């Protein structure tokens, strides 16, 4: 009579015919431990006289993974990227005078002033144009690193920035993630390329910009809430004095001006790295 082990439990006693039936059914194999009277210890079934009764092992069918082709993006050229960056830089730079003079443009806030309204519209036009070009620029940058390993697609990188509240988090993968993905792309494709052509981005710079953006949002919201109540009660009492208005606006101008400078430095860092990748890609093609 035989005993066999199944799922770490002993079964038996059973006849030799039962063992053969279990083999045919596939419930036990040549590696199953068995024992019979007179044996000092358990053995694998393939080591016993029943080894000849074991049916040949059929190799399991391995299903290959589904192939998902990497979406191909037409990369921009170094010259096009250069034009795009400098257009964005120029439009943002043209807004600096407005930001600098904004706290001093109001004399009797909130009394309407056509000159002030005209200046606001004048500087808002390049500001809006710069925002549009910035999204195009981000899209082009993410196109460059699309080789199947990038953490997001160009469309997602830009599109998710329009989701309210979520976009505050999305700054992290879009900017900090872009710097890391650029460097990883260089490591994958240009390990043997001379370092004089390729230069890597600085993820710490991008991370600093993201953290500064989050901090400026908190500062802006805090001052905005306080200013709302100050303006509300000032209007009830006859108007907001220029001095009070300036006391609130000057800190905001300093914070957002510093943030804009940091953003320009970060995008320039992206530009240099992206351009070096495009040049190296063209040389290898």
Structure confidence by residue, pLDDT tens digits, 150-167: 999 999 999 999 999 899
Q: Is 9 helix (H, G, I), strand (E, B) or coil?
A: strand
The model's pLDDT over 8-40, given as tens digits with 9 standing for 90+, comes to 788 888 888 888 888 888 888 888 888 887 787
Strands 33-36 and 9-14: unpaired
Of 9-13, 67-71, 179-183, 276-280, the one with minimum mean pLDDT is: 67-71
239: left (phi over 0), alpha (psi -120 to 50) or beta: left
- Is residue 277 a contact partner of residue 186, using CB atoms and an 8 Å limit? yes
What's the rounded Cα separation, in Å, for the pair 9 and 7?
A: 5
DSSP 163: S
Tens of pLDDT, residue by residue over 93-102, are 887 776 666 6
Q: Which of 71-85, 133-147, 158-172 has the lowest mean pLDDT?
A: 71-85
More confident residue, 194 or 222: 222
Q: For the chain, what are the domain ranges?
A: 2-53, 78-284
Contacts of 1 (CB under 8 A, 6+ apart): 12, 13, 14, 15, 36, 37
Q: What percent of the chain has pLDDT over 70?
A: 71
Q: How many CA atoms lie within 13 A of 41 on its CB side?
A: 3
- Res 69 pLDDT > 70: no
pLDDT for position 157: 95
Mean confidence (pLDDT) of the chain: 80
Q: If you ran DSSP here, which 8-state letter would residue 49 be given?
A: G
- Tell me the CB-side half-sphere exposure of residue 280, using CA atoms within 13 A: 25
> Does 47 have pLDDT greater than 70?
yes
Alpha carbons 278 and 76: distance in angstroms, whole number: 8
pTM score of the predicted model = 0.66
Kindly report the backbone phi and psi dihedral angles of residue 226, in degrees, each rounded to the nearest multiple of 5, phi listed first. -65, -45
Task: Name which residue leads in pLDDT, 89 or 93.
Answer: 89
Tokens of 209: 């910009």
pLDDT at 13: 86
């Amino acid at each position: 009579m035989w005993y066999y082990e199944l799922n770490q439990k002993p079964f038996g006693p059973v006849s030799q015919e039962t063992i053969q039936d279990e083999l045919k059914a596939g419930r036990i194999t040549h590696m199953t431990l068995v024992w019979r009277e007179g044996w000092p210890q358990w053995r694998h079934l393939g080591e016993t006289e029943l080894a000849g009764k074991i049916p040949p092992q059929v190799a399991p069918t391995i299903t290959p993974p589904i192939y998902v082709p990497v979406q191909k993006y037409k990369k921009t050229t170094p010259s096009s990227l250069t034009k795009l960056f400098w257009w964005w830089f120029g439009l943002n730079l043209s807004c600096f005078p407005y930001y600098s003079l904004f706290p001093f443009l109001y004399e009797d806030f909130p009394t309407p002033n056509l000159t002030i309204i005209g200046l606001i519209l004048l500087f808002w036009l390049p500001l809006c144009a710069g925002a549009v070009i910035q999204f195009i620029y981000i899209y082009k940058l993410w196109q460059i690193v699309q080789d199947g390993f990038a953490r997001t697609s160009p469309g997602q990188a830009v599109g998710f920035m329009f989701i309210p509240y979520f976009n505050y988090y999305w700054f992290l993968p879009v900017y900090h993630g872009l710097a890391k993905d650029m460097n990883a792309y260089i490591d994958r494709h240009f390990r043997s390329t001379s370092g004089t052509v390729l230069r890597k981005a600085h993820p710490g710079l991008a991370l600093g910009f993201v953290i500064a953006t989050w901090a400026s949002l908190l500062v802006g919201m805090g001052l905005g809430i306080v200013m709302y109540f100050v303006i509300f009660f000032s209007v009830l009492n006859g108007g907001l004095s220029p001095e009070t208005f300036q006391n609130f606006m000057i800190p905001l101008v300093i914070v957002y001006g510093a943030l804009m400078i940091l953003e320009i430095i970060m995008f320039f860092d992206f530009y240099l790295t992206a351009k070096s990748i495009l040049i190296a890609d063209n040389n290898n093609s």
